[in-house]
Amino acid sequence: MAYKHLLVPIDGSDIGFKAIEQAADLAKQYNAKMTILFVIPKGGEFVDLFNIKTVTKAFEEEAKKFFEKARKITTEKNISPSFRIAEGKPYEKIIEVAKLLGCDLIIMGSHGRGSIEKFFIGSCTERVLKEAPCPVLVVRD
Ligand SMILES: Nc1ncnc2c1ncn2[C@@H]1O[C@H](COP(=O)(O)OP(=O)(O)OP(=O)(O)O)[C@@H](O)[C@H]1O
Ligand SMILES: [Mg+2]
């Protein structure tokens, strides 16, 4: 089994960058493509009242920083991933993008930035595990 296209959704947490490191190693091993995705959260737990342009702009600025950090990690491993921003419910977008790009492995963190309880896995990861069109590798901290 050789993976051809890895999807790495990140939310800016340390564990996401750890996932990028592991994904880059796998991308090298399988000579696979790699896409890094950040979802600007909209709907669901986020009240739509906050969905004003300035907030979106702020998220975009954040995403840029996350992507720069991600690029540093992948460049060191001689991998050049694609970067993508989507807007919506993170788990829905992760699944949508995985289907759209035909990704055959999703590599994500067990937790993200919103984590309080370390025992359970994060809600986004849980939903992706339930609905993903492909295998999911969950990176723990
Ligand atoms: N906005 C996002 N964009 C891209 N990936 C995300 C996003 N949010 C979460 N993820 C992915 O899901 C992983 C786990 O995050 P998740 O949101 O499930 O946990 P949490 O933030 O600790 O808990 P919760 O959000 O349920 O309070 C992250 O490491 C990342 O891979
Ligand atoms: Mg979260």
Chain mean position to CA 55? 20
The average confidence (pLDDT) of the chain is 92
Distance from Cα 122 to the centre of ligand 2, integer Å: 6
pLDDT bin (cut points 50, 70, 90) of residue 56 is: confident
Among protein residues, the one whose CA lies closest to atom 29 of ligand 1:
109
The whole-number pLDDT of residue 115 equals 73
* 8 Cβ below 6 A of ligand 1: no
Q: Is the pLDDT of residue 46 over 60?
A: no
The whole-number pLDDT of residue 19 equals 98
Sequential DSSP letters for 33-97 = EEEEEEEEE-STTS-GGG--HHHHHHHHHHHHHHHHHHHHHHHHTT---EEEEEEE-HHHHHHHH
Distance from Cα 123 to the centre of ligand 1, integer Å: 7
User: Has domain 5-139 been given CATH number 1.20.1440.120?
Assistant: no
The whole-number pLDDT of residue 107 equals 98
* 98 Cβ below 6 A of ligand 1: no
Position in ligand 1 atom list of the atom nearest CA 128: 12
63-119 pLDDT, tens digit each: 999 999 999 999 999 999 999 999 999 999 999 999 999 999 999 999 998 777 767
Mean pLDDT value of segment 23-52? 84
Distance CA 35, CA 139 (A): 17
Please report, for the chain, the start and end positions of each structural domain, with discontinuous segments joined by +. 5-139
